[in-house]
């Protein structure tokens, strides 16, 4: 049975998923890259990007799980790229280079139509203008019994939480304070009222907190 999972969501100690002033030069916002250094260092992350090396251990186990049994991905337009409004320049094909490691269909939530992009390695970007429910329908079909991973930004994840679609949320809290930016949770007691918090697991780099839908 297909589950919808938000995994390896990095947040700062003060709850921000991205820093302020996101741009093509600074896709994660000011100092936002600090939130992901724990992931960048792992073997599984490097392997997904076609690189070698990297650390193993608790953090790597979480990253590896985020790539295991995933048959489709849904993300917000903000995660796909910095472009806003109409797609005036369709040369942009995401942050991941010419051979993204997804190797499955990736559904991007947007208000602006755009033709599908086939990256030639199994990764196909499709732009969904009919809203979350349509993206859920399409991704479930594409996953063919595997799970669907929900990516950022924070607003996209919040919409999935509000609809009760997410079966699991895994947050990696990083010992960094950003002060402003995009918050993952606006009101935890409301947004997580239908979730059970699992005991946290602490690595050398971050605190891993998993919430399961009850």
Phi, psi of 123 (to 5 degrees): -80, 125
pTM score over 0.85: yes
* All domains of the chain in start order, with CATH: 4-18+29-82+97-213 (3.40.430.10)
* Residue 135 CB-half CA count within 13 A: 30
pLDDT in tens, the chain (214 residues): 999 999 999 999 999 998 887 777 777 778 888 999 999 999 999 999 999 999 999 999 999 999 999 999 999 998 998 777 888 778 889 889 999 999 999 999 999 999 999 999 999 999 999 999 999 999 999 999 999 999 988 989 999 998 999 999 999 999 999 999 889 998 998 999 999 999 999 999 999 999 999 9
In the prediction, which pLDDT does 78 show? 84
**25 CA to centre of own chain:** 19
């Amino acid at each position: 049975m297909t589950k919808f999972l938000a995994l390896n969501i990095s947040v700062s100690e003060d709850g921000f998923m991205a820093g302020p002033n996101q741009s093509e030069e600074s896709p994660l916002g000011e100092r936002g890259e600090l939130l992901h250094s724990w992931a960048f260092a792992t073997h599984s992350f490097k392997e997904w990007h076609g690189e070698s090396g990297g650390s193993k251990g608790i953090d790597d186990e979480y990253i590896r799980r985020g790539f295991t049994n995933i048959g489709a991905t849904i993300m917000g337009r903000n995660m796909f790229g910095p472009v806003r409004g109409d797609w005036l320049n369709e040369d942009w094909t995401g942050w991941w280079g010419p051979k993204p490691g997804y190797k499955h269909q990736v559904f991007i939530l947007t208000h602006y139509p755009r033709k599908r992009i086939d990256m030639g390695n199994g990764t196909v970007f499709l732009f969904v203008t009919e809203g979350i429910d349509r993206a859920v329908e399409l991704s479930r079909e594409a996953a063919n019994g595997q799970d669907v991973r929900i990516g950022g930004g924070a607003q996209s994840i919040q919409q999935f939480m509000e609809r009760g679609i997410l079966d699991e949320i895994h947050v990696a809290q990083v010992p960094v304070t950003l002060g402003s930016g995009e918050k993952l949770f606006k009101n935890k007691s409301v947004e997580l009222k239908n979730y059970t918090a699992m005991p946290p697991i602490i690595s050398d780099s971050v605190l891993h907190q998993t919430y399961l839908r009850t």
